[in-house]
Structure 1
Amino acid sequence: MSGAPDHQSPIAQGQHADSPAGSDQRWRDSAGPIGRLGVLAGRRRKLVAAGWAVLVLGLGVLAPRAEHALSGAGWEASGSESVAVRNAADKHFGGASSSALQVIVTSSRANVDDPRVVGFLRELRRTLLSDRRVRSVRLPQPGATIAQDRRTAVVQAFAAAPPDEMVRAAGALKKKIAQLERPAGVTAYLTGSSAMWSDFNEANKSAMLQSELRSWPVTLAILLVAFGSLVAAGLPLMLTIAGLVAAAGLLYLTTLAFDVSIWAMNFALMFSLALGIDYALFIVYRFRGALERAGGEVLAALRETMDTAGKAVLFSGLTVLVSLSAVLLVPSPAFRSMALGIMLSVVFVLAASLTLLPAVLAALGDRVDRFALPWVTAGRHRSPLFAAWGRRLWARPIAWGLPALLALAALCVPLAKVETGMPSIKVVPKDGGSRLGYAAIQRAFGEGAPGALQVVAPAARADEVVRVARTVPGVAAVTPPLRATSGDLALAQVIPTADPSSAAAKRTIDRLRERLPRGAQVGGAAAEYRDLEAALAARTVPVVLLVLGLGFLLLLVALRAPLVALVGVVTNLFATGAAFGVAKLIFQDGHLSNLLGFESQGFLDAWAPVFFFAMVFAISMDYSVFLLSSAREHRDRGESAREAMIGGIAHSGRVVLAAGAVMVAVFFTFALSGPLPPKEMGVILGTAVLLDVLLVRLLLVPVALRLLGERAWRVPGWLDRLLPHVHFGHGQSRLAPTPEPAVARVGS
């Protein structure tokens, strides 16, 4: 390292950090638990590195298996009426549930009675039965699964496995079906709910891979500019890889106990990348400045870094975990496993940030600035540019804060008319076999035919069920009841008049449930989505309130200032609301659909308000902790509210901006490729981060601190006695009470 240190710490004035002599004990006693953990990791860096190597390599062996073990199903409301119907259909009606497969066969030259078509249907039956997950196959039946023009027919393959296995079966069988020789003019497409999720998962996997390949070079470039050093820029990627590999391996182990959604891997990757970058940025930035102030004494720099930035990272990680844990309230295996996947990645990245990263920094020392860009000044922790921005906001808070507030409020207005629904067939690419088959069924059998509903009732009431169902508005046809192979039950198929994903089809499901006799239950894929949508809607408010409440409590414990904690939580809502407002304009109303390459469903996916809110809030709180903990650190030194606000921006602004730039780049790459849900996710998360960084964290929050002044940091006596004493000062002021040098002080 070059250049004189800002000031000498007791360690810099004493002996080398590796010396066991007296002042070594003095600064260790002054360090907090996170600081001591960082120093311990630095002292035992070889042991820590070896431990992480064993852990990552051990779980890394299992990581490649995760992708094949993860499931594509689980999109259901556990314990709902529709799930009960599906279970009954599998158990008592030979697997004739919503998980069953359908093959739509069309012929442009001959009808289904033609010997060549009949031969193809028989070969198709043998192919379907070759998969152990298919219980039985029913060839086309006149008046039921043969169209009136007799040129379109449906072959049904009943389920002999759970829903997630049937999705995998669809993936295997559609390849075999595509390889079958067929007469001229004959097409065959595997369709149904399981086939749809198989096609979607494949398209999603391809899109995720493309997005990852695009995001890594952009991420590295932004990190290189942010850190100014190739070595330092590589540290976040180290954390990301370690966290992702470990989480993937543990996800595989988790699949041995229960089903885990394939989306868990997608989200784990994103959060490993996002948080690995955030935490490494904050810690490495602080370490470089601390190392110069400590005169090159590595362990002294680690102690200061982990006592301040490390402590902030710990609270940030806990806040992220708390926010995501609220998603566990949603009674759906898919959502719970996705939240679990993200939480695993957060735990590993957090653990690596507090142990592995300090060990690596201790090994690197001043070599962390190797291969630096020519214009970079090593060791600069405080940004003069952001300090000047803080002074500008302090001088004119209304002039800067009001336009930002109005802009965010305007973007929140579309929320008043937002509509949600479960994914329709439009989430599958236009050339997907399940979508082509879906359209073929609609043309041959009616708009609502792909979403046939299933009604299970006591056998004694079967005739009454059929009679009542035929009188319900929105019902096109009802099939004769099928008697159960075991049990005193009957199953009838109800064909709606409207497309399964339409609001009219939802109303038909609701009417059936209101009017059918006691004991009758309505199921089918459309009813399962309806129940999940209702479960998501019922959990939205509790999840939001829980996330806000727990986030406030964590900030209160960390910052010991009720008003500051309230500012951190409330301002998060502005960016989140604005992001969903933008999403409504794009995905519900269809603006920019040509540019982004998607077909609007006319609504947002139903999981967005719950799941994406928790994700956005978690990321936003990340920045809140970085900014406000920096301000708290200045308060712990006895500085004024003005100095705390300006100093907080000066010390964290570059980190927040750089981390936000990386996440915006990563999230927006997901908006450029693949099926609709990843696009929706990329736009919502990317927009939220962009607005949060530029208009909330670096503008509205400082303005709020300016308007509150000294009141922002007051804590009632009774609350002060209840709260634990958390300090973000690294203890140098206690050991060396000399004032901060001019370069590190808040200018006037």
Structure 2
Amino acid sequence: MAPDSVYPACQIPRRVFCRSAPLIRVIDPHERGSPAVSPTEPRLAERSPAPPPSAARWPQGPGVLGRLGTWAARHARAVFVGWLLLVVALGAFAPKVTTALSGAGWQANGSDSVAARTVAQQHFGGNASSALQIVVKAAKPVSDPAVQQVIARAEHLAADDPRVSAVVPPQPGATISRDGHTAIVLAGAKASPDEMVRAADALKGPLAALSTPGVQVHATGASVLWSDFNAANHSAMIHSEILSWPVTLAILVVAFGSLVAAGLPLLLTMAGLAASAGSLVLISHLFPVSVWAMNFAMMFALALGIDYALFLVVRFRAARRGGERSAVEAVAETMDTAGKAVLLSGVTVLVSLSAVMLVPSPAFRSMAGGIMLAVLFVLAATLTLLPAVLARLGRRIDALALPWARAKAGAAEQGSPRFAAWGERLWRHPLRYGAVALAVLLALAAPVVGLRTAMPSITVIPADASARVGYTAVQEAFGPGMPGMLQILAPGGQAAEVQAKTAATPGVAAAMPAQPAPDGSGWSLVQAVPKVDPSNPALKTTVDTLRAELPRGTLVGGAAVENLDLQHALDQKTPLVIGVVLGLGFLLLLVALRAPLIAALGTLTSLLSTGAAFGAARLVFQDGHGAGLLGFQPQGFLDGWAPVFFFAMIFAIAMDYTVFLLASAKEHYERTGSPRAAMTGALAHSGRVVFAAAGVMVAVFLTFALSGPLPPKEMGLVLGLAVLFDAALVRLVLLPVLLRLTGHAAWRAPAWLRRVLPDIPFSHG
């Protein structure tokens, strides 16, 4: 019989006698390397150290989650009807999610550039960074009557859109090129940046249709860029989902060994997705929600739905103990043990993502909010809907089982023999395997030292996208800095000084004469063309110089400057977000485990997998290694929003696995008081779950690295590698080794801390 087999009568491992007997265990010959065993007396029985306080009392009946599971199991019909009504009610709004959510919001609230955009939109006819630029490039001069007809039709088309304010025709010396073959029509922004992205969605197609054999018409500008990016991103998401679903289903069937059981994660995912998608549509009526919120919500709903279902279903199978317990009793035990780990995991994910709210950007906050909403619905379904389904299925959960799965069904309660053997090997040789895992992680993380970040360039959208074609035409006709034109708003009486100092700034190619606001507000607008491309780092030096030398109260803005301000906000907030995520993650583990040492180690080891993933990202996306294989043009940096947002996502996933492993370890330690039983038992009972769940996540995330624009590729590769490194090297090697090396100390806590913290048992009596 396996080392962790259980006597049904006393429900504790075989090495420990029943509860009424003294806590004595017979020494396993293989335990001679354990600190708890005296090497000079290997064959004598040894009294174990006093078990932790939670082991001194076994719960009398199910706990809170056990009672919740029992209620759901006994009122399954009510639970099914409730979830059906919720999904139908919210799911009715889900089809509108792609049109209701916004495409902008990539700004730093409170920055000078956002203030400059607001002033320009209010006092200069919408000539702000969110205005649309209609580029007309002709073989003949733009003064040609045929070309003028095309320009007139473009102006009329833009003016008919209610989101467009004033339409400014091409101006000689400003928006007509020197060779006279390229002109820019400005369609002012009358609506919010989010609405201007929708205006770009509506206008870019009809505008392109105005093109003739000798005249090309394309819309460009920041709003069109986000419109094109969202379209490319949406297409990539759909393509990636098509690629990932077959792989996901195959892994689920292998992991569960049953077609019926494999369908349970899909049930949770669909319920959570439908509810969260409908909720996002409703929330979008209150404030803008980024369309990326739904994309990330879909990934997390699928990933966590699989994780949670795996953990609960495996435990439910073990809890049935060969049919000796009823389905309701098995559900109660499942919820009292694995259910607590799932709840803790969900709370940890929510806490990790909530730290992103510290970034003053609507896009970041709505993306984090969308993921958190999906996690809430999946967690609610896991703790209510899944217990009801398990109780109704009972033994039928193994229906349509694969042949090899039927043969192993009887060993379910003893855990995975392979992972149990792996645990024993780690116990005997901790330094050998731990040192290798640590060395690999540190080597992968080393390139992070040279990591550079910046906001995305125009190359993140396809070469044939309207914004990029128009962008290229403007640069060819007006110079490299024209697409990143600066908008400088001067207070009353300072226009001449602002214009003169702007023109004399080294990084400025040309500064146009100051334009007084037509509404008499006293503001003046100076538009300046930088010498470099908007994505060139030298632009930041130019902007910093202008802000330092121009008179007090002057606002420097423009689409490129908004990107710089957002990058600055991200650089400032990233250390704070990382610190908050780590601190809150540690506190959650401390409350749950009542063990400060292992809570700290479990939190800090997450930094290793994160660092390794970003080290690999630097080699690929900054240095260009493998760019041809993945089909992208390297920008020479990682997108600026990646470190803060990806860190929160990676940490949330890593803590998900940490909770599963340590919750299982604590359960075994509560029952036995043995560090060895805690470590090997945790791997035996949760190792396969972590391995299978990680396999699904890696498959889902890496499909995004194979299609679509650059940011989804970054997201897919960074998250996929992070999950791979975390599961394979940290949770299944390094963290168990740390449990082995710290022994009883891993689970100890000062008396004063035990009095302060709640006692949350993970075992079920």
Task: Work out the CA distance in 2 between the residues paired with 1:146 and 1:421.
Answer: 31
1:369 alignment partner, one of 379, 398, 423: 398
| 1:543-600, Cα deviation, whole Å (9 max, x unpaired) | 1000000000000111111111011101100000000010011111111111001111
> Which one is further off, 61-70 or 318-327?
61-70
2:642 alignment partner, one of 581, 605, 608: 608
1:713 alignment partner, one of 738, 742, 747: 747
Aligned position for 2:33 = none
Contact 1:294–1:300 (8 Å) recurs in 2: no
2:460 alignment partner, one of 427, 430, 439: 427
Change (3 A) 1:6 1:568: closer
Contact 2:668–2:681 (8 Å) recurs in 1: yes
Deviation at 1:638, TM superposition (A): 2.5
> Which one is further off, 397-406 or 322-331?
397-406
Structure 2 residue 512 is the aligned partner of structure 1 residue 482: no
Structure 2 residue 472 is the aligned partner of structure 1 residue 439: yes
Aligned position for 2:317 = 288
Structure 2 residue 337 is the aligned partner of structure 1 residue 308: yes
1:243 alignment partner, one of 256, 259, 272: 272
Structure 2 residue 416 is the aligned partner of structure 1 residue 383: yes
Contact 1:44–1:359 (8 Å) recurs in 2: yes
Contact 2:240–2:703 (8 Å) recurs in 1: yes
Aligned position for 1:743 = none
1:136 alignment partner, one of 166, 174, 184: 166
| 1:591-647, Cα deviation, whole Å (9 max, x unpaired) | 111100111111111111110000000000000000000000001103310110000
**Secondary structure in 2 aligned to 1:718?**
helix
Deviation at 1:188, TM superposition (A): 1.1
Deviation at 1:178, TM superposition (A): 2.2
Stretches of 4+ aligned residues off by more than 2 angstroms? 5-11
**Secondary structure in 2 aligned to 1:30?**
coil
Structure 2 residue 309 is the aligned partner of structure 1 residue 275: no
Task: Work out the CA distance in 1 between the residues paired with 2:442 and 2:374.
Answer: 34
Contact 1:645–1:702 (8 Å) recurs in 2: yes
- Where in structure 2 are the equivalents of 1:296-695 lying within 5 Å? 296-376=325-405, 377-378=408-409, 380-381=412-413, 382-486=415-519, 487-695=521-729
2:214 alignment partner, one of 181, 185, 206: 185
Task: Work out the CA distance in 2 between the residues paired with 1:481 and 1:58.
Answer: 55
**Residue type of the alignment partner of 2:78:** L
Contact 1:390–1:650 (8 Å) recurs in 2: yes
Deviation at 1:432, TM superposition (A): 0.7
Deviation at 1:8, TM superposition (A): 4.0
| 1:160-195, Cα deviation, whole Å (9 max, x unpaired) | 110000001001101111222x44321111100000
Task: Work out the CA distance in 2 between the residues paired with 1:378 and 1:702.
Answer: 26
Contact 1:102–1:154 (8 Å) recurs in 2: yes
Task: Work out the CA distance in 2 between the residues paired with 1:698 and 1:340.
Answer: 31
Contact 1:117–1:183 (8 Å) recurs in 2: no
Contact 1:140–1:153 (8 Å) recurs in 2: yes
**Residue type of the alignment partner of 1:556:** L
**Secondary structure in 1 aligned to 2:188?**
strand
Give the TM-score normalised by structure 1: 0.94
**Secondary structure in 2 aligned to 1:637?**
helix
**Residue type of the alignment partner of 1:194:** S
Task: Work out the CA distance in 1 between the residues paired with 2:60 and 2:245.
Answer: 42
Task: Work out the CA distance in 1 between the residues paired with 2:193 and 2:594.
Answer: 49
Contact 1:236–1:276 (8 Å) recurs in 2: yes
Aligned position for 2:129 = 98
Structure 2 residue 204 is the aligned partner of structure 1 residue 174: yes
**Secondary structure in 2 aligned to 1:459?**
coil
Task: Work out the CA distance in 1 between the residues paired with 2:65 and 2:490.
Answer: 61
**Secondary structure in 2 aligned to 1:155?**
strand
Contact 2:255–2:692 (8 Å) recurs in 1: yes
Aligned position for 1:746 = none
Contact 1:124–1:177 (8 Å) recurs in 2: yes
Percent of aligned pairs with the same amino acid = 60
**Residue type of the alignment partner of 1:426:** T
**Residue type of the alignment partner of 2:404:** W
Task: Work out the CA distance in 2 between the residues paired with 1:678 and 1:93.
Answer: 36
Task: Work out the CA distance in 1 between the residues paired with 2:593 and 2:6.
Answer: 27
Task: Work out the CA distance in 1 between the residues paired with 2:587 and 2:59.
Answer: 30
Contact 2:346–2:375 (8 Å) recurs in 1: yes
Task: Work out the CA distance in 1 between the residues paired with 2:59 and 2:617.
Answer: 50
Deviation at 1:470, TM superposition (A): 1.3
The answer for unaligned runs of 5 or more in structure 2 is 12-57
Task: Work out the CA distance in 1 between the residues paired with 2:236 and 2:98.
Answer: 15
Task: Work out the CA distance in 1 between the residues paired with 2:8 and 2:760.
Answer: 25
**Residue type of the alignment partner of 2:724:** L
Structure 2 residue 81 is the aligned partner of structure 1 residue 81: no
**Residue type of the alignment partner of 1:148:** R
Task: Work out the CA distance in 2 between the residues paired with 1:488 and 1:189.
Answer: 34
Task: Work out the CA distance in 1 between the residues paired with 2:68 and 2:555.
Answer: 57
Task: Work out the CA distance in 1 between the residues paired with 2:185 and 2:323.
Answer: 75
**Residue type of the alignment partner of 2:149:** G
1:155 alignment partner, one of 185, 200, 204: 185
**Residue type of the alignment partner of 2:636:** G
| 1:2-55, Cα deviation, whole Å (9 max, x unpaired) | xxx9654699xxxxxxxxxxxxxxx99521101111111001111011100100
Task: Work out the CA distance in 2 between the residues paired with 1:408 and 1:682.
Answer: 19
**Secondary structure in 2 aligned to 1:598?**
coil
Deviation at 1:215, TM superposition (A): 0.9
Deviation at 1:406, TM superposition (A): 0.8
Change (3 A) 1:367 1:6: farther
Task: Work out the CA distance in 2 between the residues paired with 1:413 and 1:466.
Answer: 47
Contact 1:8–1:294 (8 Å) recurs in 2: no
Task: Work out the CA distance in 2 between the residues paired with 1:29 and 1:348.
Answer: 31
> Which one is further off, 479-488 or 48-57?
479-488
Give the TM-score normalised by structure 2: 0.92
**Secondary structure in 1 aligned to 2:463?**
coil
Task: Work out the CA distance in 2 between the residues paired with 1:58 and 1:9.
Answer: 47
> Which one is further off, 498-507 or 375-384?
375-384
Aligned position for 2:68 = 37
Aligned position for 1:737 = none
Task: Work out the CA distance in 1 between the residues paired with 2:151 and 2:143.
Answer: 10
**Residue type of the alignment partner of 2:462:** P
Contact 1:415–1:581 (8 Å) recurs in 2: yes
Contact 1:8–1:293 (8 Å) recurs in 2: no
| 1:112-144, Cα deviation, whole Å (9 max, x unpaired) | 111100111111111111211111211111100
Task: Work out the CA distance in 1 between the residues paired with 2:594 and 2:562.
Answer: 46
Task: Work out the CA distance in 2 between the residues paired with 1:518 and 1:165.
Answer: 32
1:70 alignment partner, one of 79, 86, 101: 101
Contact 2:59–2:764 (8 Å) recurs in 1: no
The answer for unaligned runs of 5 or more in structure 1 is 12-26, 732-748
Contact 1:323–1:550 (8 Å) recurs in 2: yes
What is the aligned length? 710
**Secondary structure in 2 aligned to 1:513?**
helix
Aligned position for 1:23 = none
**Secondary structure in 2 aligned to 1:476?**
strand
Deviation at 1:511, TM superposition (A): 1.0
Task: Work out the CA distance in 2 between the residues paired with 1:335 and 1:541.
Answer: 16
**Secondary structure in 2 aligned to 1:154?**
strand
Aligned position for 2:733 = 699
**Secondary structure in 2 aligned to 1:189?**
strand
